[in-house]
Structure 1
């Protein structure tokens, strides 16, 4: 029996490759004669670069000095495949780089991501694909633009401090962004607009440390900054309303303003990992993520895999830390069954502390249920 195992990470607990490996170990303990094909995935968030590095064996990976959301040194990477480069925003401005006490999107910056983009361009890339997700920032890409030579200025012409809150005083940019005419692509499955109840600040700000009052401040600041972005010749009309402009704290808006485009992260990863070809030969596909909920149904890794499996008539099982999506909603995207580590352990604490043990146990359980 051939089983395709293609999970996303379980955010904050275990990486996608480790999820796949633990599950496979459990399955093969029970049914060693089966063939398990491991294809860890990402929709653009943490793990994006590692997933693509495994899928593109001819690509060259370059280490790049960058800065984290608070301006401290951190090592990022550029994956160069011909004249296309892939960078992961979370390597430079990811939430996982900060302690809980340090999380404050009023002050965090995406400057480090701009350093990665510059390095990609200097390495000869004509297209730079940026995986968006897991960011600690809510600055609308202001830090990214500053690294590209277009820092936000106040009315007196002084450079603004880093962070989303300072953008309420933004009056202009210090220059034209410089990235040698390369095309930018935002790889994300977040379709949120920049502003409002469904925008970057309101939906994702609290996850990054924003209080209720902070959300209003940040949303107003992004509204002001989006007006400044419209002064760029490459900026499309109605920027703040475009799907994906709210991705990664507004980094999607910056990419769009620079003449770039938004592309489905899981769609891109599916194509580069040749996932659909693997699905055609599979009897069962197993995917998963930390929380299988309503957001999962809107185009993240689980939805992308389940949709593809459904189209080919392949059963799809979801593993998750917790399962909040309804059975009917899950079935609508092609999910056959869903299993939660919280239910397995009977405790959130144990599910967070021992995810690999739980995944091995679920691997054994599913092998007994599914293996012919």
Structure 2
């Protein structure tokens, strides 16, 4: 039989490529005669670069040093595709894991993402593919704009210039000190308290082929389904401060009267989706767009079984997540799911395996699934093969 293994990464524990390989190894133990194809997937967040690198072995990883979300230098890279486009992943430059658990809701910045994009443009990228999942900030993309060469306007940062992850109000007379004798340095969402607009004289232009933004998030920028309310808590925004961040983002949105903050996806990555719309980029469904670029529909043609998965299969999985997208493309093939944990009904799936359940059955320790997901993904592949 023809088997296609196309999982997302198990975020924070295993890459999509590692999971796909483990499932295929387990499958081969049970059914060595089957033809198994690996198609690691992504939705614009963690693992997007790796998915493209797997699909295009001749692609070049280009190293770059950027300012991380907390202001420290981060060594990362972007990917130059054979056609000249660049893939830049926000999670690798301004991602939540880079904070190491030290959440900074007011000051975490998307600056490094903008710097990485600028580096790709400086290198001659003909177009951009931007994955924006996994953001550490709720800054609406103001940091990204600074990384792209714009200047933030508004007291006390009138005429500000970017220094590291913050903005130093070196040219303002309204506030020249932080009260402790030092310069007033602010970054991230705190910049939106007084923002009135951007000086775009130095803003980088879109490349000839434009910029496509990959995101699986359909939230608007503002309101109860927006960036602050839905995703802010995981970035350290407490319930009583959600309104404050929503007000900040609303003030930022008023700087761009021609951009609709209710656009689906504007609330992605703490509002970076909105910032990219304001820059002129196009938002696309993450997993669907990745599948198209990777040629997954053609790979699935004639498949007997398609195995997909993600770290946690839950109520959100039906909204553009990798497993749902892959299942929708699978046609008449049987579809099977591998997930770290399964917290939603499995209607429509032919078979499923939970790594947490497997770990409980084999070692008695459900947390072993987090500590060694590759081991249990291999067992999952073997068990699913028995059901083929």
| TM value normalised by structure 2 | 0.87
Q: CA RMSD, aligned part only?
A: 1.7
Q: Distance in 1 between matches of 2:33 and 2:351?
A: 23
Task: Name the structure 2 match of 1:360.
Answer: 378
**Aligned residue among 256, 262, 276 for 1:229:** 256
Runs of 4+ in structure 1 deviating by more than 4 angstroms, as ranges, are none
Unpaired stretches in structure 1, ≥5 consecutive residues: none
Q: Secondary structure at the match of 2:188?
A: coil
Q: Secondary structure at the match of 1:164?
A: helix
Cα deviations across residues 221-242 of structure 1 (Å, max 9, x unaligned)? 1111111133xxxx43xx2100
Matched, 1:24 2:35: no
Unpaired stretches in structure 2, ≥5 consecutive residues: 161-166, 168-185
- Shift, 1:177, TM fit: 5.4
Task: Name the structure 2 match of 1:258.
Answer: 279
Q: Secondary structure at the match of 1:228?
A: coil
Task: Name the structure 2 match of 1:90.
Answer: 91
Q: Distance in 2 between matches of 1:133 and 1:302?
A: 16
Task: Call closer, same or farther: CA 1:152–1:338 in 2, change over 3 Å.
Answer: farther
Task: Name the structure 2 match of 1:147.
Answer: 147
Which has more helix, going by share of residues? 1
Task: Call closer, same or farther: CA 1:177–1:227 in 2, change over 3 Å.
Answer: farther
Matched, 1:40 2:40: yes
**Aligned residue among 237, 248, 252 for 1:210:** 237
Q: Secondary structure at the match of 1:170?
A: coil
Q: Distance in 1 between matches of 2:202 and 2:308?
A: 40
**Count of aligned residue pairs for this structure pair:** 356
Matched, 1:186 2:213: yes
Q: Secondary structure at the match of 2:120?
A: helix
- Shift, 1:181, TM fit: 3.6
Task: Tell whether the 8 Å contact from 1:185 to 1:255 is kept in structure 2 after alignment.
Answer: no
Task: Name the structure 1 match of 2:131.
Answer: 131
Task: Name the structure 1 match of 2:195.
Answer: 170
Task: Name the structure 1 match of 2:177.
Answer: none
Task: Name the structure 2 match of 1:285.
Answer: 306
Task: Tell whether the 8 Å contact from 1:31 to 1:367 is kept in structure 2 after alignment.
Answer: yes
- Shift, 1:348, TM fit: 4.2
Matched, 1:340 2:354: yes
Task: Name the structure 1 match of 2:164.
Answer: none
- Shift, 1:289, TM fit: 0.3
Q: Distance in 2 between matches of 1:348 and 1:146?
A: 44
Q: Distance in 1 between matches of 2:201 and 2:148?
A: 8
Q: Distance in 2 between matches of 1:246 and 1:222?
A: 10
- Shift, 1:158, TM fit: 5.2
Q: Secondary structure at the match of 2:303?
A: coil
Task: Tell whether the 8 Å contact from 1:142 to 1:151 is kept in structure 2 after alignment.
Answer: no
Cα deviations across residues 144-174 of structure 1 (Å, max 9, x unaligned)? 1011222323235153521113312212223
- Shift, 1:77, TM fit: 1.9
| TM value normalised by structure 1 | 0.91
Cα deviations across residues 222-269 of structure 1 (Å, max 9, x unaligned)? 111111133xxxx43xx2100010111111001101111101221222
Q: Secondary structure at the match of 1:10?
A: coil
Task: Call closer, same or farther: CA 1:203–1:177 in 2, change over 3 Å.
Answer: farther
Q: Distance in 2 between matches of 1:162 and 1:107?
A: 5
Q: Distance in 1 between matches of 2:19 and 2:57?
A: 22
Q: Distance in 1 between matches of 2:6 and 2:194?
A: 45
Q: Secondary structure at the match of 1:41?
A: coil
Matched, 1:321 2:340: yes
Q: Distance in 1 between matches of 2:293 and 2:36?
A: 20
Single out whichever of 279-288 and 50-59 deviates more from structure 2: 50-59
Q: Distance in 2 between matches of 1:177 and 1:315?
A: 53
Structure having the higher Rg: 2
Q: Distance in 2 between matches of 1:272 and 1:352?
A: 30
- Shift, 1:88, TM fit: 0.6
Task: Tell whether the 8 Å contact from 1:106 to 1:214 is kept in structure 2 after alignment.
Answer: no
Q: Distance in 1 between matches of 2:230 and 2:116?
A: 26
Q: Distance in 2 between matches of 1:257 and 1:36?
A: 43
Q: How does 1:71-110 map to 2 (within 5 A)?
A: 71-81=71-81, 82-100=83-101, 102-110=102-110
Cα deviations across residues 258-289 of structure 1 (Å, max 9, x unaligned)? 11110122122212221111111311000000
